[in-house]
Chains A and B, each alone.
Chain A
Amino acid sequence: MSPTEPRRSIRLRLALASAALAAALVGLALAGVYVAVREILEHETDHGLQAELDELEGVHRASGTEGLRRTIDQRSVGLAGHDGYYFFSERRLERIAGNLPVWPESIDHDVDDLESTTVTLQEGSDTRAIVRFVRMDAVILDDGRHLTIGRDITEQRRVVRALRFAAVSAFGIAVAIALVGGLSVSRRLLGRVEGMNRMLVGILAGRSREHVPIGDRRDEFDELADHFNRLLDENDRLIERMRQFTNDVAHDLRTPLSRMRAQVEAALAHPDDTGRAQEALQSLLGEINTLLELFNALLRIAQIESGSLRQQMRAVDLTALARDAVELYQPAAEEAGLALESSLSPDVSTVGDRHLLAQALTNLIDNAIKYAGNGVIRVEAAADGDGPRLVVQDAGPGIPEVDRKRVLERFVRLDASRNLPGTGLGLAFVKAVADLHHARLVLEDAGPGLRATLCFPAPQADGRNSREPC
């Protein structure tokens, strides 16, 4: 989100969404009830009408027009409120019996359009008009006479209408409650998010180094706050490391650069002394090579740490790797008055980058030759339940316990080794390679000497390395 964009809070959206959901659910339920009730009532009425028509037809068949007239007269007594309406007529609709004076044309048969109708009732010569909802059905009898009967459904209609009103009201109330509830819940939740936001704004602006407060509810928000805090700590740590690193680089550059400058100045001060100039150039070349080596090593470590090399990993035979390294270093070690021994179990392997692993191992052997001074250097390749491992052990002075973690950082050189050649990146490189392989680099006291172990993760059943090294 760009800072210029006005903020669109999700609070209203949340409330509206909850209201819409409530409306949809309640509306659906009520509409279902409404339609069902209406259908049942109408079906009941039609069924009743049909049954009565059948019955009256039977009467007509058994006792003729006169019998039917009597039955109808009995059923349509009086002008007051009736449930049933009857109109029994000749073929040409001349009235024979019933409480309706004329063929009720005005009454619609289609129930959906049924409006309240003015019904004119008749008994004898008296007529009376009432406004009712009526549902009609008719039959043509065997002799061609017509029989039309109706049911008063005014009450039914009232019930349906009341039901509709109740449904609509309930719907409205449900929507209102959902809206209010949604607003208040979202305000409560978002209030905590907003608190966090304000704090982070302060931290981002550099105004505070506080942490996001964590509640005691241990809910998702507390978890979020906890993650934020860890992110902030990690951030601080990285910045600190970066600062330290920049300092170290600057420092490590300044020393050789000052030396180079001194040599150039000295050579310039004696313009006629070509021998001196040659010497200075030779020495400069050496210094430059050392610096280039340093930068290459730095870039290499950075590249390894970026993890981009992980795609190139494949099975690496650690036994062969160790054998080759020992074979390469054996003469150099002997020359330095050291014995380089190896103990290699067969078929030790891991998934990784052969070139990086070889370089890491040779770095460890290099270190052993450089610092051990005398005695035996042992190189081991072995595997057990904890996973494969490579070990380089010397009998030199070792590394004091307090320094063991520190020496893995870039440019850290212990005082004892300051005057030996080297970039101070050897172990940092090994550490970076180990991390890339999810391996651990363990430095231990070999009493006397240093035992450096690369512990690779135990292979999983599917042939890939697990994340947890020995």
Chain B
Amino acid sequence: MLLARADGAAVKILLIEDDPTASEYLCNALAESGHVVDPVADGLKGLNRAMNEPYDVLIVDRMLPSLDGLSVIETLRKAGRETPVLIVSALSDVDERVRGLRAGGDDYLTKPFAYSELLARVEVLAHRKGGSGPRTELRVADLEMDLLGRNVRRAGQTIELKPRELQLLEYLMRHAGQVVTRTMLLESVWDYHFDPQTNVIDVHISRLRQKIDKGFDRPLLQTVRGAGYCLREPD
């Protein structure tokens, strides 16, 4: 079962990937998730389209014929194009990841990856734009977080959180309505670029859930089976 989008709007994606099997699979999967995908198999063509057509997200493989992925991204950034880029690569070293992000990539995913992981990251990237200056407050339904005073309230009731729980909740609230995976949480909240063998994140989430959802009718922190978590107001 492929994952349906958390909130209806289709994302327009340019997929620059030279492996035909991977490209076809991703196209089908992303289309089934409700997105519009244009596949391109080489770097120069990809750069061309990215320069001339409006996309919400670019998915760029690092190793490409005619122009490698990092050069594509660098050229785009120099030309002032700010389209979010997700780099996918078989190069897994932390250093490679740093190089990818330095070249102008916004996120980095190591092959092989689970489709749910890719989808979650693409959707997060697609909604990242429109940053209207630094925010001082986050709000999801009746859950509020004051980013300056670092305090959290639900339905007016103050909730005591440990520093890490606060970070975790902040990340979830900033990506409210989007699926975030365990790996994304490990990366952004703990800065760990590997997956521990034990499912440590699940326990952290369930503790956070205890604090923010217990005693309220409508649970906000939901588990998305086979993918990760999503903080949103239930329908």
Contacts and interface: CB of A to CB of B under 8 A. Distances in A.
A291 to B, nearest CB: 10
A366 B198 contact: yes
A354 to B, nearest CB: 8
A366 B198 CA distance: 7
Interface string B112-124: 1010000000000
Contact of A422 (B95, B192, B197): B197
Contact of A335 (B196, B197, B203): B203
A26 B152 CA distance: 97
B95 A329 contact: no
A329 B186 CA distance: 12
A331 B203 contact: yes
A362 B92 CA distance: 19
A292 B117 CA distance: 15
B93 A309 contact: yes
A327 B164 contact: yes
A339 interface: no
Contacts of A359: 192, 194
A299 interface: yes
Contact of B203 (A292, A332, A363, A426): A332
Given A324-B190, A355-B194, A358-B192, A329 B200 contact: yes
Contact of B197 (A292, A328, A426): A426
Contacts of A353: 94
Nearest to B199: A332
A425 B196 CA distance: 13
Nearest to B97: A355
A309 B103 CA distance: 20
Given A299-B92, A309-B93, A331-B204, A355 B196 contact: no
A312 interface: yes
B205 to A, nearest CB: 9
A11 interface: no
Interface in A37-95: none
Contacts of A334: 203
B129 interface: no
B207 interface: yes
B192 A355 contact: yes
A276 interface: no
Interface string A340-370: 0000000000000101001100110010011
Q: For B192, B197, B207, which residue has the most chain A Cβ atoms within 10 angstroms?
A: B197
A312 B92 contact: no
A303 interface: yes
B193 interface: yes
Interface of A: 289, 292, 296, 299-300, 303, 309, 312, 324, 327-329, 331-332, 334-335, 353, 355, 358-359, 362-363, 366, 369-370, 421-422, 426
Given A289-B114, A312-B95, A366-B197, 8 more contacts: A328-B204, A331-B203, A332-B203, A353-B94, A355-B192, A359-B192, A362-B196, A366-B196
